[in-house]
Structure 1
Amino acid sequence: MEPKWLEWAKQLQSIAQAGLTYSKDVYDLERFELIRTISVEMLSYQTEIDATKIKDLFANETGYATPKVDIRAVVFQNNKVLMVRENTDGDWALPGGWADIGLTPSEVAVKEVKEESGFDVKVVKLLGVLDKKCHPHPPSLYHVYKIFIQCEITGGQAMEGIETNAVAFFSENELPTLSIARNTKSQVDWVFKIINNPQDPVYFD
């Protein structure tokens, strides 16, 4: 679970962002800008990352603050799950990435599988919507919802992508080193369980 200081910093950022968007009073705007600055300074102090860099990443959005959305495709073949090795950390993840404006979650899942693994897929069903803060991921500056969508292969062939350098299928007992910013061991264990128990309801939180 994420540390309290990170939770508080993100809450302050959310309050400041909404206030800067909707407030009309010049003095309130100054106060909300101060709250945003405090949230950035909290993160900079705790992480030892330069405040300017944190502001560019963390306090650069406008409008009402909402969670970001990460889509993960769950693709099985012969009781093994499809995974790709990420260029950024050299570890393995279910194909996926940030949701794209203008695309449905299903369209994102299909696109990400093709781009990262080379396979063509069709969407079968929604497996779950997970709040990243409720799972053992590394701390994140963003509040993230992770949508897991089951897909079936319809064509294509294994092929690395721009962001990936290997494609493989893994059994439940032979999982590789996971990119835990993207998917945790408990989440991969869960997808094996739910695939083998299709009557289970959609998981959330």
Structure 2
Amino acid sequence: MNDAWLDFAIRIQSIAQAGLQYGKDKYDIERYEELRRISAEMIAVRTDIPVAKVYDLFCNETGYQTPKVDTRAAVFVDGKILLVHENNGTWSLPGGWCDVDQSVASNTVKEVKEETGFAVTAEKLIAVQDWRKHNVTNYAYGVVKIFVQCKYESGEFEDNIETTGIAFFDEDTLPENLAVEKCTREQILMCFAALQDPNAPTVFD
């Protein structure tokens, strides 16, 4: 759904959510509720997902709408990068949503531990990116992706509910079946570039 239709629906929902939070007039509240329903209907028409389900997932927050934060770890050992094998058969950098009680660094370390069993140290901020510019999007809200270079400290793979295995890859042997909503080939190569140039500035857009 990387298209203008989705962007329109997201913008309408964002305006409606803010209006519901700050609006005082009862007639304005009704109009904002209607805008919210329209945004859900737009996505339902485009995806064939029932309107009720879209509404539950897409229109379930209050307050001013802000993007979600996703942290991804670039863990290198002997010049190769760590990827995790997802339950659906794709490969990705370890990571996930930033929990409300975590910083970017601590969340990155936590996600690596949960998905691989490895203890790592967060060392460098590689990039801060808007996923709409780089990834296949599958959520109807904004996502800010933060890539963090990490140092392997200890540990070995442990069975968990999120991944089925791990492997290390160099630049020339990256797998084809990447979880492109989580990380693309270009984003992984960006992490290699950061490793090769310790003085490279943080990438952001």
TM-score (norm 1): 0.96
1:6, 1:43 within 8 Å by CA — same for their partners in 2? Answer: yes
In structure 2, relative to structure 1, the CA distance for the partners of 1:135 and 1:61 (3 Å cut) is same
Equivalence for 1:77: 77
User: Aligned Cα RMSD in Å?
Assistant: 1.2
CA distance in 2, matches of 1:161, 1:151: 21
Equivalence for 1:92: 91
CA distance in 1, matches of 2:130, 2:164: 28
CA distance in 2, matches of 1:86, 1:170: 16
1:69, 1:144 within 8 Å by CA — same for their partners in 2? Answer: yes
SS in 2 for 1:198: coil
Equivalent AA in structure 2 for residue 149 of structure 1: V
CA displacement 1:121-176 (0-9 Å, x = unmatched)? 01101111000011142443121000111110111112242200011111111111
Equivalence for 2:187: 187
Equivalence for 2:164: 165
2:149, 2:191 within 8 Å by CA — same for their partners in 1? Answer: no
SS in 1 for 2:99: coil
In structure 2, relative to structure 1, the CA distance for the partners of 1:136 and 1:97 (3 Å cut) is closer
CA distance in 2, matches of 1:184, 1:21: 36
Equivalence for 1:43: 43
Runs (5+) with no aligned partner, structure 1: none
Equivalent AA in structure 2 for residue 169 of structure 1: F
Equivalence for 2:100: 101
Equivalent AA in structure 1 for residue 126 of structure 2: L
CA distance in 2, matches of 1:131, 1:22: 27
Q: State which drifts further: 135-144 or 161-170.
A: 135-144
1:113-128 pair list within 5 angstroms: 113-128=112-127
2:119, 2:155 within 8 Å by CA — same for their partners in 1? Answer: yes
Runs (5+) with no aligned partner, structure 2: none
